[in-house]
Amino acid sequence: MDYKEVNLVNANKFFTEHLNKKLLKPIKIVEKDSDPLMKAIGWFLGALRINTRFMSSYITTIGNTIYFPKELMSTINPKRFMETIIHETVHVLDAQENKLIYKPSYLPELFLGLPLLILSIILFALKYWIIGIVAILLALVCILPTPKFGRYHWEMRAYAVSLLIARDADHDEWFITQLKSWIKGQLKTSHYYFTMPIESFYKDEDFDKYISQIPIKEEIKSFLKNDFINL
């Protein structure tokens, strides 16, 4: 079954009828396969063997645009699609409300590590050895798979959506526990470049805290109750 049409109808209803007062700019959903930037990133990640499934299996959000793999948009069921779209919407809202810190705290490898690495090369060329060593050590902290507290925070806020939806659907505790384990598995492993491998960051109270912080909790519940089209 091709779910693309109903998926896009659901997303449009959610954006226009439930989020219009929250968004500074409309959210767009674009097929990843048709975007030159996504193709370039996909080629780069594939060539370095960092992520060979970037174009086919990963949803990417930049600014107010959500890039969705073309085939996945047609095959993913409406419930899972909207859960993903709402997850990405939390990212959009967080970036909108935290313009200065969101990008460097979410992706320090690019926004902090790379500039520090370039700076260290310049400092070494100028023979500022001590400052150069400090710069390269900071660059390595940003680039290597050390705990990334910022990305952990933003992703936990977005993944809390899945827990909210599961609780709203009256799933039992076994299902909730499995979902928490899956979220932990995403953030502890290579899926998110070992964002937060420390077990103590995944206590039940941590998940509860992030559920309470979801910025569009009532909008999500209203949409699922009144406007969501399922098949």
Q: Does residue 215 lie within any of the structural domains? A: yes
Could you report the per-residue pLDDT of 69-96, keeping only the tens digit for each? 989 999 999 999 999 999 999 999 999 9
If asked whether residues 204 and 97 sit together in one domain, one would say yes
- Amino acid identity for residue 149 in this structure: F
Q: Are strands 65-68 and 60-62 parallel, antiparallel or unpaired?
A: antiparallel
Nearest CA to 154 out of 109, 104, 112, 220 is that of 104
Cα 116 to Cα 26, 35, 152, distances in angstroms: 34, 30, 22
Considering the domain architecture, whether residues 54 and 154 belong to the same structural domain is answered as yes
Residues 127 and 190 in one domain: no
- Same domain? For 34 and 75 the reply is yes
Residues in the chain: 231
Rounded to 5°, angle at Cα 195 from 189 and 201 = 95
**Same-domain status, 51 and 68:** yes
Separation CA 132–CA 19 (nearest Å): 47
Domain region containing 79: 4-104+147-226
For residues 3 and 231, the answer to whether their CB atoms sit within 8 Å is: yes
Alpha helices in 19-148 (DSSP H): 36-47, 54-57, 70-75, 78-97, 102-106, 108, 114-125, 129-143
Q: Are residues 30 and 92 in the same domain?
A: yes
What is the C-alpha separation between 51 and 228, in angstroms, rounded? 33
Whether residues 96 and 131 share a domain: the answer is: no
- Residue 76 resides in a domain: yes
Q: Residue 231 falls within a domain, yes or no?
A: no
The residues of the chain scoring below 70 in pLDDT are 1, 48, 50
Does residue 155 share a domain with residue 131? no
Same domain, 181 and 73: yes
Q: Are residues 158 and 100 in the same domain?
A: yes
Report the number of distinct structural domains present in the chain: 2
Of 86, 72, 54, which Cα lies nearest the Cα of 159?
86
> Do 58 and 124 sit in the same domain of this protein?
no
Tokens 């928490």 belong to which residue? Answer: 180
Residue 112 belongs to some domain of the structure? yes
Residue 204 is predicted with a pLDDT of 97
